[in-house]
Amino acid sequence: MRRRGATLVEVIVYCALLGLLLTAIYQVLIGCARAYVEYLSVTELERGVMIATTRVTWELAESNSGSIRIDTNPSGIVFASPQNAQGLFQYDASGNLLWQKYVCYYLDTATRKLVRKEEYLTTPETSAPAIPTGKTTSYFKNSTSLVSTWSAPAITTFTPSGASPVSLTIAASAQSPIPDKTGTRPADNVEIFTRVYLRN
């Protein structure tokens, strides 16, 4: 008994169904790839803001409420720090903590970076020094003799306020690597708010 082969119409139907199935699978894979790339982009942005927040918080917490200056142009904060170049604390013969330097974090809007600079005291002091009138964020930003020791990219907002605790708002923004349906690449935004309680 002879077996009947597939007719041309059946072959065309099978091919059409297979094409629809492959198209659906392709769309799912493309959607997963887009979601993964978007996830990596947002995660990297969040990581950058978390690192910036952790660093500022960790260093600022060692300062004193009487040794803080907050400016708005450029937006930033200047504070006294008892940490030496190795990030350690030093004490005099009587066991008094020695204050070593002034630290400044400010937002550079031109480069969209949170920048850190520092300036050492001529002589370490045993009491937390008040911030001199001239030691503003503008002074640190414009000083060519003070080199940036650290910076965080893609930062759009750095807003410190208060004295004890100090409130910090740090936000970052970056263009999404994936365009939307209109072909526009929307911005990914991350913002963190925290309070820093000073220990000294």
pLDDT in tens, 86-118: 999 999 999 999 999 999 999 999 999 999 999
**Is 2 inside a domain boundary?**
no
User: Do residues 54 and 76 touch, judged by C-beta distance below 8 A?
Assistant: no
- H or E element at residue 183: none
**Is 121 inside a domain boundary?**
yes
**Is 12 inside a domain boundary?**
no
Most confidently modeled range among 42-46, 97-101, 196-200? 97-101
Summarised one tens digit per residue, pLDDT across range 123-161 is 999 999 999 999 999 999 999 999 999 999 999 999 999
Q: In whole angstroms, how large is the CA radius of gyration of the chain?
A: 28
pLDDT at 199 over 90: no
Separation CA 67–CA 64 (nearest Å): 5
Q: Classify burial at 17, counting beta carbons within 10 Å of its beta carbon; exposed 0-12, middle 13-18, buried 19 or more.
A: exposed
pLDDT cut 90: percent of the chain above it: 76
User: Do residues 23 and 138 touch, judged by C-beta distance below 8 A?
Assistant: no
Domain of residue 50: give its range. Answer: 26-196
**Is 134 inside a domain boundary?**
yes
pTM recorded for the entire structure: 0.84
**Is 17 inside a domain boundary?**
no
> Residue 121 has what pLDDT?
96
**Is 4 inside a domain boundary?**
no
Exposure on the CB side of residue 181, measured as CA atoms within 13 A: 0
Separation CA 153–CA 170 (nearest Å): 12
Q: What are phi and psi of 171, to 5 degrees?
A: -130, 150
Q: Classify burial at 173, counting beta carbons within 10 Å of its beta carbon; exposed 0-12, middle 13-18, buried 19 or more.
A: middle
**Is 5 inside a domain boundary?**
no
> Residue 2 has what pLDDT?
61
Cβ-based neighbour number of residue 169 at 10 Å: 15
**Is 16 inside a domain boundary?**
no
Q: What is the domain count for the chain?
A: 1
